[in-house]
Structure 1
Amino acid sequence: MKNKVLVTGGTGNTGGHVIENLLSQGIPVRALVRKIDERSDALAARGVEIVEGDLTDLDAVTAALKDIKSAFFVYTIKEAGILDATAYFAQAAYETGVEAIVNLSQFGANRHVKSHGAQNHWIAERLFDRAPVPVTHLRPTLFAEWFMYQAMVIRSESKYYLPFGDAKFAPIATEDIARVAAAILADPAPHAGKSYDLFGPKILSMAEIAEIFTSVLERPVTYVPIDTETFIGILKKFLNAGPYFIQHVTSLGQDLADGREAGMNDLVEQLTGQKPLQMADYILKNKAAFA
């Protein structure tokens, strides 16, 4: 009986944590990666089966899903293409007899959202819902990893610059999202057809997050609110961001400033038996990047 799980994005942050959790449960894993490199080699060394291919290649996706019981689907928000990838993945999963899919979407994705990326996530959910394979949608709020984008600035200037105004939200670490995904992949039937909004343990303002950085790093760290155009310049200079990602991020910034990303629940603990990581603990775990 097949029991192997396919993880897409296995060399990325969330996918990597999903694999870690599955391996810790003794569940065999196959990872679909864009290219074989030192990251995929490290996974292979741990017993993960590596398959090279692109999510927008139907034949490659079909081959990756052969003899797979359940699958984790994630598509980068930095590039367009999620709708093609979703359609191919759903069709290939049906053809190969996959029993369950866990889809990583995002909180706030809806038909009328300003972000093209977030709207496409909503459409992707609908595509999966219409497929004859049971799916569970995970809809996390903004990741704690957002602050990694400015780790270099935090190190050098003890500041971070974001166009979020006085926004408040409950940042969630990717490792917590991954624990939820792995728990569902291990026993998907009770979660079929459900959507889970996922949040960190506490709603925080930008100023409160700066205070946490200050406490953990033991030096003053300041949040500097900036306008959208200035932020676009930062994205282009430091992240080499393209138009699709820039449109998503700037639109999301407005949603945050308008309070549309705020929310709280205890689903992470309910689904995994473990509370999500506090922001202070996340910073402490990644102190070397910020210090």
Structure 2
Amino acid sequence: MAATKILVTGATGATGSATVKELQQRGYEVRALAHRQDERSERLQQAGAEVVFGDLLDFEAVRSALKGIQRAYFVYPIRPGLVQATAQFAQAAKEVGVDAVVNMSQKSAREDSLSNSALQHWLAERVFDWSGLNVIHIRPTYFAEWLLYMAPMLKQGDTIYGPFTTGRHAPIAGEDQGRVIAGILSNPEPHRGKIYPLYGPVEHTYAEIAEIMGRVLGRTVRYQNVPIEKFAQITAQAAADRPQRNDAASMYAETDRLTSRAGNEYLMQHLGEVAIDHTNGLFAGTNNYVEEIGGRPPLSVEQFLLKHRSFFN
């Protein structure tokens, strides 16, 4: 085990940071790739990870990050460039003989998706498959961390807003995904070539989630469906003057500050299309993969909110 060194990309994000922690607890040496130096990357260093910095669109930076690595977790944010980043990562991984890669995809990834991002994820899966590497794709439904980025809305009233209607899904926490990723990377051969949809334990509508949120917070919380354009405006206003972060909880709310105008349009096009997919049931479902591979059942919405209640203070 000591001879196996694992690269975790997106290491300061919701799934990456959880994966680093889980792998370290299992005794693995971890190299963490972060986009920039900040308090989150410093925490990784203090916890014993080797932290390197670079952009997944920088081929030489990717090659450098993969030197001496045996296994890897690949995750790319919702912005243009995924297929290029995937091709570069796959090539660099082949050059150093990486024996397993866990690839973060999307539940909505498919060849006929109207979301540019979801289509790019499907193509990225195929690029990895063509590479001949041992790649395992995970396709999570919506992250539970979505609920945290809604917290600023509740500082301005009793309503959370979203582009979703009557669809249901079982939100899955980043830490639960981290355990699955670490479980696969600890023993990748049984998972060779597989695609794992990942879910939390119970499906809910957003109206039901608002009720659960209200119970946890001890206040009335309502949910209101709004068009994607209005949602973009609300999230930008709610995120105003809040600290920049680079995790799933703020990926969307801070899009104007974290991406270019083109990147923002790319993100909102994705959210508009997958909101329709959500209504049509594409994000629904549950299974036992989190417990079977990760070692314990996934957090419920209530458990997740209780654990992160401080976000709403």
TM-score, normalisation: structure 1: 0.96
The 5 A counterparts of 1:62-141 are 62-77=63-78, 79-141=79-141
Q: Check if 1:256 corresponds to 2:278.
A: yes
Unaligned runs of 5+ in 1: none
Alignment deviations for residues 13-72 of structure 1 (CA, whole Å, 9 cap, x no partner): 210010011111111100112222332222112211111211111111111111111000
Q: Check if 1:290 corresponds to 2:291.
A: no
Bigger mean CA offset, 178-187 vs 29-38: 29-38
- Shift of residue 132, structure 1, vs aligned partner: 2.1
Relative to structure 1, the CA distance from residue 155 to residue 284 in structure 2 (aligned partners, 3 Å threshold; closer, same or farther) is farther
Whole-Å Cα distance in 1 between the matches of residues 189 and 174 of structure 2? Answer: 23
Bigger mean CA offset, 230-239 vs 89-98: 230-239
Letter in 2 for 1:160: I
Bigger mean CA offset, 257-266 vs 17-26: 257-266
Whole-Å Cα distance in 2 between the matches of residues 213 and 34 of structure 1? Answer: 32
Whole-Å Cα distance in 1 between the matches of residues 55 and 207 of structure 2? Answer: 40
Letter in 2 for 1:51: V
SS of residue paired to 1:103: strand
Task: Say what the alpha-carbon RMSD is for the aligned residues.
Answer: 1.3
Q: Where in structure 1 do 4 or more consecutive aligned residues deviate above 3 Å?
A: 235-238
- Shift of residue 204, structure 1, vs aligned partner: 0.6
Identity %: 44
Contact residue 2 and residue 68 of structure 1 kept, 8 A: no
Whole-Å Cα distance in 2 between the matches of residues 232 and 114 of structure 1? Answer: 19
Alignment deviations for residues 244-267 of structure 1 (CA, whole Å, 9 cap, x no partner): 111111111111122222112111
Whole-Å Cα distance in 1 between the matches of residues 131 and 33 of structure 2? Answer: 21
Whole-Å Cα distance in 2 between the matches of residues 228 and 57 of structure 1? Answer: 32
Partner of 1:23: 24
Bigger mean CA offset, 245-254 vs 137-146: 245-254
Whole-Å Cα distance in 1 between the matches of residues 12 and 211 of structure 2? Answer: 32
Partner of 2:188: 188
- Shift of residue 126, structure 1, vs aligned partner: 0.4
The 5 A counterparts of 1:183-222 are 183-222=183-222
Alignment deviations for residues 61-104 of structure 1 (CA, whole Å, 9 cap, x no partner): 11111111100000001x21111110000000000111100001
Unaligned runs of 5+ in 2: 240-253, 257-263
Letter in 1 for 2:307: K
- Shift of residue 236, structure 1, vs aligned partner: 4.2
Q: Check if 1:271 corresponds to 2:272.
A: no
Contact residue 235 and residue 246 of structure 1 kept, 8 A: no
Contact residue 107 and residue 282 of structure 2 kept, 8 A: no
Q: Check if 1:5 corresponds to 2:27.
A: no
Letter in 2 for 1:266: N
